Structures are given as C-alpha cells and as structure tokens.
C-alpha cells in the first residue's frame, strides 16, 4: 500500500540530504522514481544539500499538475515507483491534493520533505495541506541547534543582522548569505525566537553587558507594538 509521508523539520535539519539519501536507496534497490523540488538553493531543476550532494530534479512551477504529469509518464510507458518532493512547503495546496490522489489511485509512494512553518511561525500552505492529508508526518529530529545550544525549532528571518517577523512569506535566502542587507535565515529555539534574539544580537548584548547572553534580564520578550 502506497503512502503519502511528510518529513518535516526546520531549516538546516538535513531534509534535502535525507531526500537525496532516500533517492539513492530506492534506486539501489532497482526502484524508479521522480524527484521534484522548488527554489532549490542551487537553482532550478536540481536537488542539492548543504553537504554538496545533488541530483537532477523537476522544478515545480505553480502550474505543474502532478496528476497529469505522472499519468502522462505512465501513458508513455515509463515506470514510476515513487516520488520525492523536496521544498514541499512551497507547493500549492492543490498540488498536495494531486500528490494524495497519485498515492491512492496509482499506488505510488510520495515522500514529501518540507519546512513546517515560516519565519513568522505560520504554517506554509503546502505544509499545512500535507499535515492535513499525509498518512504520516515524520518530524525530523535534528542536529540543528540554536546559538544557545538548545534544539532549534523555529526559523528566523534576519535582515542585515536583525531578526524580522513581518514581510513576504517566501523570500529565498540562505543561512550562509553575507549579512549586509541580505535576507538570511537562522534557526532558533522557541525561547530565543520569542525574544527575537538571534546569534548576532546575542553577541552584541554579551559585549555590551559582559554577562551571559541567555540571561533573561538582557533578553526580554519584546513588547507587542
């Protein structure tokens, strides 16, 4: 019985590496699949991981119809055993419905990988629909750590070193981007997300106060304006 599985986590949790590993494991067992991604850090039509691995992938545009794409492939005589769908948080909800239909009616496994929530802690539309429809949601238990050493559970958007909580939902950046005015992302624990304290401001506070940066006195919850 095929399954729709959502592997979810924060940024930096090794999702794309796991997606690539899964693709490799399937093909080593003689299974044939298709790999999809959207806004990969290396550009269109490639699935890449921070560890430097990559695979050719199909770019998911807004008008891609997964159902028609897969039925078309099968009609042309191609074999499709499974789909790997990376960056699924960026897919449209309708596209997630198409993936569920592929699982149910074509008996093809779909492994979707994505970030659950955006930099405002709101669910991405694609992730929300996956949580609603998936047979299983597997939360990737990660190595990603906040600067304080706690497990990182939230994605923060940083512009010019300062954490922001308003703006467009999708602005593709990288955790490794240079700081000046560019959009970067940093994973934080909830405590430091709520206190809007990213590593840059923590360092600045530590320099100013000469005390530990996770002291709550210098790390207050910002007033809600």
Q: Which position has the token pair 């997300």?
A: 193
Residues flagged as binding site for substrate: 170-173, 185
- Residue positions forming the annotated binding site: 170-173, 185
Q: Which is nearer to Zn ion, 128 or 150 (CB)?
A: 150
Cβ atoms of 195 and 222 within 8 Å: the answer is yes
Distances (CA, A) of 80 to 37, 76, 128, 152: 17, 11, 26, 36
Which of 3, 59, 68, 87 is catalytic? The answer is 87
Whether the CB-CB separation of 16 and 51 falls below 8 Å is answered with no
Residue 200, interface with Zn ion (CB under 5 A)? no
Instruction: Find the shortest distance in angstroms from Cβ 10 to Zn ion.
Output: 12
Q: Which is nearer to Zn ion, 216 or 225 (CB)?
A: 216
Residue position matching structure tokens 């629909």: 129
User: In angstroms, what is the minimal distance from the CB of 223 to Zn ion?
Assistant: 20
What mask, x for binding Zn ion by CB under 5 A, covers residues 128 to 157? Answer: ------------------x-x-x-------
Is 87 one of the annotated active-site residues of the chain?
yes
**Neighbouring C-beta atoms of residue 168, cutoff 10 Å:** 9
* 25-33, 55-63, 103-111, 183-191 -> range binding Zn ion (CB under 5 A): 183-191
Site membership for Zn ion, residue 115 (CB under 5 A): no
Q: Do β-strands 82-85 and 33-37 pair in parallel, antiparallel, or remain unpaired?
A: parallel
Minimum CB distance to Zn ion smaller for 34 or for 146:
146
If binding is defined by CB under 5 A, does position 189 make contact with Zn ion?
yes
Is the Cβ of residue 28 or residue 216 nearer to Zn ion in the bound state? 216
Main-chain phi, psi angles of 177, to 5 degrees: -70, 155
What is the contact mask toward Zn ion in residues 81 to 100, using x (rule: CB under 5 A)?
Answer: --------------------
Q: Is 225 exposed, middle or buried (0-12, 13-18, 19+ CB in 10 A)?
A: exposed
Query: Counting contacts by CB under 5 A, is residue 163 touching Zn ion?
Result: no
CA gap 10, 184 in Å, rounded: 14
| Nearest-approach distance from CB 209 to Zn ion, in angstroms | 17
For the chain, how far is it from start to end, CA to CA, in angstroms?
A: 51
Catalytic residues: 87
What residues line the site for Zn ion (CB under 5 A)?
A: 146, 148, 150, 189, 192
């Amino acid at each position: 019985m095929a399954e729709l599985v959502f592997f979810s986590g924060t940024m930096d949790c090794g999702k794309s590496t796991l997606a690539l590993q899964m693709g490799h494991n399937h093909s080593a067992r003689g299974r044939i699949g298709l790999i999809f991604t959207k806004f990969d850090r290396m550009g269109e039509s490639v699935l890449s991981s921070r560890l430097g691995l990559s695979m050719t992938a199909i770019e998911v545009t807004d008008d891609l119809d997964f159902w028609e794409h897969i039925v078309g492939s099968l009609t042309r005589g191609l074999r499709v055993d499974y789909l790997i769908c990376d960056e699924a948080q960026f897919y449209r909800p309708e596209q997630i419905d198409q993936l569920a239909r592929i699982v149910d009616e074509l008996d093809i496994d779909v492994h979707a990988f994505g970030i659950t929530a955006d930099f405002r802690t709101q669910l991405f539309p694609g992730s929300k629909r996956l949580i609603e429809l998936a047979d299983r949601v597997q939360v990737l238990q990660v190595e990603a750590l906040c600067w304080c050493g706690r497990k990182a559970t939230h994605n923060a958007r940083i512009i010019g070193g300062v954490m922001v909580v308003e703006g467009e939902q999708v602005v593709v950046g990288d955790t490794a981007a240079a700081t000046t005015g560019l959009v970067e992302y940093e994973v934080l624990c909830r405590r430091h997300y709520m206190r809007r304290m990213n590593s840059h401001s923590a360092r600045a506070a530590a320099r100013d106060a000469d005390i530990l940066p996770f002291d709550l006195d210098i790390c207050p919850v910002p007033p809600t304006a």
